[in-house]
Chains A and B, each alone.
Chain A
């Protein structure tokens, strides 16, 4: 399974877009990129996933570069409730390997 690299922490002003980057330079052609978040000590929550096309749902957008070596999760209008740890995961087989993620703090 490909490894991912994320910045340890980021701040974002409330109401602004939060752009969370992830590098996955060793990704293989059939591996998906998944994003999850964990609020406080709750169980991680699925956000979005994609293979090579950009994806959007009610929570976020996922932009994957053409070479698939990196991606960006976009929260279009961050709120205080989006403060959480965000995990980028590349899934090859059916088991996730989590890194330490990016701790996003949304500031009022």
Chain B
């Protein structure tokens, strides 16, 4: 029962470097989401994909791009990392029928 799998779990980047966070779900969910959580804060929505082939901006999309590669996979790309993007990133998926989310265990990203 994998659920939502995120890779990598930890990453340190230098300012200006790029990287892609990977997310895959095995529950045949239609919708997928990327959130970030800064220390002591709630989660903020970066991007989401309501269904395969569609993506939309959330609350804090600047500095990020996403790709819904197929129904299972939703990746988040940082083109030029900045220290302000140091955060924990969570991917989630949901079945459009009941909207309950399943979250991954997170990627802890530090930009120095």
| Count: A-B pairs, CB below 8 Å | 55
Cβ–Cβ < 8 Å partners of A98 in chain B: 35, 42-45
Q: Mark B9-21, 1 if CB is under 8 A from A, else 0.
A: 0000000000000
Q: Majority SS of interface residues in chain A?
A: loop
Is A95 on the interface with B (CB-CB < 8 A)? yes
Number of residues on chain A facing chain B (CB within 8 A): 20
Cβ–Cβ < 8 Å partners of B101 in chain A: 36, 44, 46, 96
Cβ–Cβ < 8 Å partners of B100 in chain A: 34, 46, 49
Is B74 on the interface with A (CB-CB < 8 A)? no
Contact of B106 among A36, A41, A87, A95 (CB under 8 A): A41
Cβ–Cβ < 8 Å partners of A41 in chain B: 88, 106, 108
Contact of A87 among B42, B50, B105 (CB under 8 A): B42
- Those of A75-102 within 8 Å (CB) of chain B: 87, 91, 94-101
The 10 tightest CB contacts between A and B, nearest first, are: A43-B103, A98-B43, A98-B42, A100-B42, A46-B100, A44-B103, A95-B48, A43-B90, A99-B42, A43-B105
